[in-house]
Structure 1
Amino acid sequence: MHCNNCALSIHKLLEKKGLKNIFVDFASEEVKFSNNDTATIPGIIKDIEGLGFKVVDDPATEVTPFYEKIENKFIFCAVLTAPLLLHMVLPWHFFHNPIFQLALCIPVFLVGCLHFGKSAINSIRGGVPNMDVLIFTGSTAAFIYSLVGTIQNLGPQYQFYETCATIITLVLLGNVFEKRSVTQTTSAVKDLIKIQQSNANRIVNGVVEVISAKEVRPGDTLLVNMGDKVPVDGEILSGNASVDEAMLTGESMPVEKEKYDTVIGGTIIVHGNITMLATKVGSNTILSQIIDLMKKAQAAKPPVQKLGDKVAAIFVPAVILISVLTFVLTFFLGHTAPQTALMNAIAVLVISCPCAMGLATPTAVMVGLGRAAKNGILIKGGDTIEAVAHTKYVVFDKTGTLTTGKFRINEIKAEGDTGIELVRGVIMAIEERSNHPIAKSLVNELKKLPQTKVILKSAKEEKGLGMRAEDIEGNHYFLGSGKVADESGFNISLYKNQKLLAQIAVDDEIKQDAAALVAQLKKMNIVPVLLSGDKNNRCLKVAKLIGIDEVHGEKLPEEKLKVIDIYKQKGKTIMIGDGINDAPALTQADVGVSMNDASQVAIQSARVVLLNTDLISVVKFLQISKHTLLTIKQNLFWAFAYNIIAIPVAALGFLNPMLGAFTMAFSDVVVIGNSLRLKKKKVDG
């Protein structure tokens, strides 16, 4: 696929077949859909190929024949077109011979017929004419007109072979540049896929065997040495190492890992070596999920693209109509020579460029998402970029978002004659079953202290409240904040069979860059808001330290939704959170942003995931989104302005078809080039 109309024709075909969740992205050349019956797949592939496309399973293993490569087609046509153009400046008589010109033009025209004609005819059959219809019509009109002049010996004023050949050659040159540029815009995903491609050292019965990372299965024991890529996600069984996780988090400093720590596929061991247990392989690894999210994100269209899509769908028929009118008006009403009227009509066809409109949005979105990913920001949809434009409020959860999520136990107060070691044992047993940052910190701190071992039969987390558990003796426990803690600093309560067993005072530390982030948001005229389930006095204390004025404490998940709704009515609202209790609010906000070390539910609910722990990346995300949207608007302006100006200029006879083909070929390159600026562009402003 090489233009938006190609994608539209495939989309239409799949819709007619009644398929669901259709996704066609011409820039990455991918087609996806949901289908209950796999037996129909060969038929669907045959129908897509009937439209003139080729379906491949794995582009990495696909070998393009020499004669099908766009670069080779261009070189072949350029060699034959050069002498046709030279006849205009060189006096050599044989260059002017119509038979000599016809002999040079025929091979170029045949390449054009096979390349553009096949695509043009199939796009008309598909019901969505593409830009190749314009190129094919223009070059064919010039060729037939010249051929008739040669057969009837009508003289040099009927010889436009160079026009036909030059149109085809220049558009092929444009396609070469476009292909290379589009490849650059999709480089972020390709870079991630390359990271996946590595070997693994599998240990079987004490013997190390080298296999592909694709062959690793859950439960395999792997050896990873210094300088090696970690092949899949897993846990360290023995050894310790410094791991470079920059590809995932953007964090430049290596992370120290030891026994029981998790390692992520694609990261690199810069020092040390480890033996690890493979836990997630194939499409379940974090890297595979990121690649999948990136692909989906690149395909999600921002609302601003819909205008370009609508125009592109009716563009080709409209241009053909304008071209016919140009010929009729110039020849019959303008009383000009037929060749002048024809050249004007052909110029209208070849200067028009629906591709620029189709490429305007996806290329900018791809580069923007790629840049964000390299900064440790995973954006789940191109539409998210437009959703954050003109953000008015950024709502923060407190624990694990503005604070580190690392807690210290200040005090445990056991009620009555309950032993402190028993209390520690109950807390430890319950919190081991939770993913909440407080739970993790309590477990880390308590495992170093003496305690009575308690065995649980069951434990479950209650959103925004805490944990309920039952031990093997049938005792029921509740551990959590809810709204039961008093103002004395004890913010977690432990109940046994509905009687208070102990109270715990826990404190967490504020992240270093929280105050800087709040100050930066205020500079951008964005109002920071604190929304938490924690006690009011604790929320106010944190808010005061980092400069947040609007605070909502002691909110349960359903109450958080109401607060988000109120802010949404006042302006665009982003919610940043990390816990299970934040998931509904993350979904409810215009855009939900989740921290990478958040719970899986929060990550799935959010539209943006910060892969590093650096809060300032929130500002980076807003800046990249702003500049991506600006680039989309610049691209669309260029695409529309180019066509609005170029078509009337060509119709009035101020452009010959060869110059028209040249400017059309490079209008795409201008759009893609502007998108590629996003890779290096300064986005601080």
Structure 2
Amino acid sequence: MFVEEKPGAIRHTVDGREYFFCSTQCLNEFTAPEKELKKLKTITGVSIALTIPITVLTYLMILPKEINSYVLLALAIPVQFWAGWRFYKGTRDAIKARASNMDTLIAVGTTAAFLYSTLVTVMPGLFPFEGVYFETAAIIITLILIGRLLETRTKEKASNAVRKLLDLQPRMARVLRDGGKREEEVPVEQVQEGDLFLVRPGERIPTDGTVTEGSSSVDESAVTGESIPVDKSAGAQVIGATINKSGLLKARATKVGQDTVLSQIIALVQEARTGKAPMQRMADQIAKYFVPAVIAVAVASALAWYFIGGIGLTFSLLAFVSVIIIACPCALGIATPAALMMGTGKGAENGILFKGGEYLEIARKVRTVVFDKTGTLTKGQPEVTDVMALSETMGGQQELLRLAAIAESGSEHTLGQSVVRKAKEQGLVVASPESFEVVSGHGLKAGYAGHAIIIGNRKMMADNGVAVPDKVSATMSRLETEGKTATLVSVDGRLAGIVAMADTVKEHAREAIDSLKEMGIQVIMLTGDNERTAKAIASSLGIDRVIAQVLPQEKEQVIARLKSEGKGAVAMVGDGINDAPALARADLGIAIGSGTDVAKETGGIILIKNDLRDVVAALELGRKTVSKIKQNLFWAFAYNTGLIPIAAGALVPAFGAQVYEWLPLLAGGAMAMSSVSVVANSLLLGRYRPRFAAAGRPEKEQMRTEKELKQPYYHYTEAT
């Protein structure tokens, strides 16, 4: 529920930020979620264990009537005042906030039932009827505790995302002392701005800095999400927690502690996750008006019968208590969880994991979907797309690919490994080179079977006296415009060909984009890659709006800006650590199942099958599930609300006061019917099939897609 920042409001401060809560229960769940979950499991288990015998003894009457009522009272006391204590605390906090919520309705209804039943038990002559409502109060409390437990379990791993981010940070750093003469290993927390540190191949860079000496390629995918390692030499910036792949680097620390890129990402994830306004629960919204209305009806009926009907104090109190009891819907506790269990189960069948009910509600409101590029729209791994042989004397494309793969087999660079992988896929034998030398930032040299092989960029060829014709340069430029990385290959001093690589688009990505557009949803690509490459990918997918060259910490700001435009809820689809703040900041975070653990922990929806069409299925399923929740809430209230006039005495003029003898039975019937309606309505979700899910596509479309997948993706061309 909405909480105003009043002096008396419940508040809690974390890292200088102040949070406001509607109840102490919400505060405890925020500060110690694991402890609260364990406590709730225990309370719910005990409540179930006590409610079962209460229900059995109520309807089977195994014991004598006088003894039976006292046994029921003894069993009901711990359920009412131990298991149900959280509802009393919630009511107290709601009263302080001058509002009413579901806790108020539950506390008032169950207390009325318990106190009335207790008076009937210990003072049998006080009321004219001997029926008790102990089982009504116990069932209401137990069912709603079960609902709360199901809801709380979805939040059990809320803090794991930040914990996994912290695990990326190296524990130790090799700092150079005495002007670089002495190497000292110190905890990374002790690294000071300006310190010179050393990073060996395979080690994580301890903090943000500037390279002062050495050259290497650095895998920044953990932070930036981009799959291709970045070449680093003197003057280049390095980011803490990224991995040094090949060479030895010396760097000077420029940012330490909370100022590093990784620390900023961690802070953004924490802020975005905890800074979200809590979802207004539909049940609380109804209770906001329902509770005062029920109490008003109960008081009015009691006063009317006492002063106007002249029925006496006893029957007037009975009318008051009856209205309160009959109005408390027990099915309310399972109205939302039942639909959520079916909705999430149906999602799991289609490779979609919903992590909480709030994400289902938000899914139906999404009007903008933002996709990360690398690893989300694309495969996140460069692959060979073009092999162009420039000389027939070298044996054409196959021989060019074989020699290039032999030379690259000595390299750890991701681009080089893609060449090796492609050659092996073509059945070519890739031997080890006899000599190998890396020219950092430009390419490599290798020797094999008497051949001198050079692979690299234009400068690499110029430095080694290999001429590159204008026509070849134009072809290189065309490939680069298409978002590909093109490299030149020379053999024995002659230009032999071009090998181009790119991070290729995932299967079904275009289909998913088209489907979202059909639903009237705006699609945006958000990436840290350069604008030329991003636009090339976007064009092939039919995405009109591209936001490129965005730093990891800026992605969250872009999402916040899109949300401020007020065009409905914003969903973010991503897979990398760099996407975590944006996933958390978005109204709905959708994480790709093949992505990092942090992205999956931060996202509200996880696509297990790594199929982008499931983004569409998730939004559709969310809409359908929320519709079922609303229907369930209606049925949860309908039966009980319909009996309020009877409890208020509408039938007394026709049948006399004896009608109250039937109220316990009517209350039980209302509970049974509302619960059955809720469960049956939720089960109907099992028949629902997402229109855009992979499993639900028309047979003709499946055959067309399967045929397309059999077509070779890569093409080989002769260039003269």
CA RMSD of aligned residues (A): 5.7
Structure 2 counterpart of 1:225: none
Contact 2:408/2:419, CA 8 A, preserved across alignment: no
Structure 1 counterpart of 2:671: 665
- Matched residues in 2 for 1:542 and 1:676: separation? 41
- Matched residues in 2 for 1:32 and 1:446: separation? 55
Structure 2 counterpart of 1:168: 134
Task: Give the 3-state SS of the residue equivalent to 1:613 in structure 2.
Answer: coil
Q: Which runs of 5+ in 2 are unaligned?
A: 4-8, 93-103, 157-272, 391-402, 425-429, 442-474, 489-496, 652-658, 692-720
- 510, 514, 534: which one aligns with 1:515: 510
- 342, 346, 360: which one aligns with 1:385: 360
CA change 1:150–1:599 in 2 (3 A) is closer
User: Is 2:593 aligned against 1:592?
Assistant: no
Structure 1 counterpart of 2:224: none
Counterparts of 1:359-370 in structure 2 under 5 Å? 359-370=334-345
Paired residues, number: 481
The structure number with the bigger radius of gyration is 2
Structure 2 counterpart of 1:341: 316
Contact 2:305/2:316, CA 8 A, preserved across alignment: yes
CA shift, 1:627, in A, is: 1.6
- 477, 485, 492: which one aligns with 1:487: 477
- Matched residues in 2 for 1:647 and 1:508: separation? 65
Structure 1 counterpart of 2:546: 552
Query: Which letter does structure 1 place at the counterpart of 2:408?
Result: R
Contact 1:344/1:650, CA 8 A, preserved across alignment: yes
Structure 1 counterpart of 2:302: 327
Structure 2 counterpart of 1:352: 327
- Matched residues in 1 for 2:538 and 2:356: separation? 31
CA change 1:146–1:34 in 2 (3 A) is closer
Structure 2 counterpart of 1:223: none
Query: Which letter does structure 2 place at the counterpart of 1:116?
Result: Q
CA shift, 1:304, in A, is: 3.6
- Matched residues in 1 for 2:537 and 2:88: separation? 63
Counterparts of 1:272-291 in structure 2 under 5 Å? none
CA shift, 1:421, in A, is: 8.6
CA shift, 1:351, in A, is: 0.6
- Matched residues in 1 for 2:138 and 2:516: separation? 47
1:511-538 deviation per Cα after TM superposition (whole angstroms, max 9, x unaligned): 3322332332233222444455667676
CA change 1:131–1:373 in 2 (3 A) is same
CA shift, 1:348, in A, is: 0.5
Query: Which letter does structure 2 place at the counterpart of 1:429?
Result: E
Structure 1 counterpart of 2:571: 574
- 623, 627, 635: which one aligns with 2:632: 635
CA shift, 1:386, in A, is: 2.5
Structure 2 counterpart of 1:303: 279
Task: Give the 3-state SS of the residue equivalent to 1:401 in structure 2.
Answer: helix
TM-score by length of 2: 0.52
Query: Which letter does structure 2 place at the counterpart of 1:392?
Result: R
- 412, 420, 426: which one aligns with 1:429: 412
Percent pairwise identity:
25
Structure 2 counterpart of 1:618: 615
- Matched residues in 2 for 1:622 and 1:526: separation? 11
TM-score by length of 1: 0.54
- 77, 89, 106: which one aligns with 1:131: 106
Structure 2 counterpart of 1:75: 56
Task: Give the 3-state SS of the residue equivalent to 1:309 in structure 2.
Answer: helix
1:344-364 deviation per Cα after TM superposition (whole angstroms, max 9, x unaligned): 223212112165556544554
CA shift, 1:328, in A, is: 2.5
Task: Give the 3-state SS of the residue equivalent to 2:364 in structure 1.
Answer: coil
Contact 2:329/2:671, CA 8 A, preserved across alignment: no
- Matched residues in 2 for 1:583 and 1:449: separation? 41
Query: Which letter does structure 2 place at the counterpart of 1:522?
Result: K
Contact 1:369/1:378, CA 8 A, preserved across alignment: yes
- Matched residues in 1 for 2:61 and 2:319: separation? 25
Task: Give the 3-state SS of the residue equivalent to 2:367 in structure 1.
Answer: strand
Counterparts of 1:44-193 in structure 2 under 5 Å? 55=39, 68-80=49-61, 102=66, 105-113=69-77, 115-116=79-80, 124=88, 128=92, 131=106, 133-138=108-113, 140-141=115-116, 144=119, 150=125, 159-161=128-130, 163-164=131-132, 167-169=133-135
CA change 1:70–1:645 in 2 (3 A) is closer
- Matched residues in 1 for 2:318 and 2:531: separation? 77
- 634, 648, 651: which one aligns with 1:651: 648
Structure 2 counterpart of 1:204: none
- Matched residues in 2 for 1:597 and 1:579: separation? 10
Contact 1:533/1:554, CA 8 A, preserved across alignment: yes
Task: Give the 3-state SS of the residue equivalent to 2:412 in structure 1.
Answer: helix
CA shift, 1:678, in A, is: 6.3
CA change 1:174–1:510 in 2 (3 A) is same
- Matched residues in 1 for 2:629 and 2:664: separation? 29
Counterparts of 1:494-513 in structure 2 under 5 Å? 505-513=500-508
Contact 1:576/1:592, CA 8 A, preserved across alignment: yes
Query: Which letter does structure 2 place at the counterpart of 1:661?
Result: A
Contact 1:178/1:668, CA 8 A, preserved across alignment: no
User: Is 2:605 aligned against 1:608?
Assistant: yes
Contact 1:352/1:643, CA 8 A, preserved across alignment: yes
Contact 1:578/1:602, CA 8 A, preserved across alignment: yes
- Matched residues in 1 for 2:605 and 2:597: separation? 13
Query: Which letter does structure 2 place at the counterpart of 1:673?
Result: V
1:363-414 deviation per Cα after TM superposition (whole angstroms, max 9, x unaligned): 5445434443453323344332233323223333444333444543335999
1:71-115 deviation per Cα after TM superposition (whole angstroms, max 9, x unaligned): 22221222228x9xxxxxxxxxxxxxxxx8656544444444454
CA shift, 1:549, in A, is: 4.9
Task: Give the 3-state SS of the residue equivalent to 1:487 in structure 2.
Answer: helix
- Matched residues in 2 for 1:373 and 1:26: separation? 34
Contact 1:388/1:591, CA 8 A, preserved across alignment: yes
Task: Give the 3-state SS of the residue equivalent to 1:488 in structure 2.
Answer: helix
Task: Give the 3-state SS of the residue equivalent to 2:112 in structure 1.
Answer: helix
Query: Which letter does structure 2 place at the counterpart of 1:635?
Result: N
CA change 1:342–1:585 in 2 (3 A) is closer
CA change 1:450–1:142 in 2 (3 A) is closer
CA shift, 1:140, in A, is: 3.9
CA shift, 1:682, in A, is: 0.2
CA shift, 1:611, in A, is: 1.9
- Matched residues in 2 for 1:355 and 1:439: separation? 64
Q: Which runs of 5+ in 1 are unaligned?
A: 9-13, 84-99, 152-157, 191-296, 432-437, 459-484, 496-501
CA change 1:457–1:599 in 2 (3 A) is farther
Structure 2 counterpart of 1:251: none
Query: Which letter does structure 2 place at the counterpart of 1:651?
Result: A
CA shift, 1:680, in A, is: 1.1
CA shift, 1:506, in A, is: 0.9
Structure 2 counterpart of 1:89: none
- Matched residues in 2 for 1:550 and 1:181: separation? 43
- Matched residues in 2 for 1:141 and 1:57: separation? 29
Query: Which letter does structure 2 place at the counterpart of 1:168?
Result: F
1:108-163 deviation per Cα after TM superposition (whole angstroms, max 9, x unaligned): 44444454366668854775466365344345436646876749xxxxxx5311x2
CA shift, 1:318, in A, is: 7.0
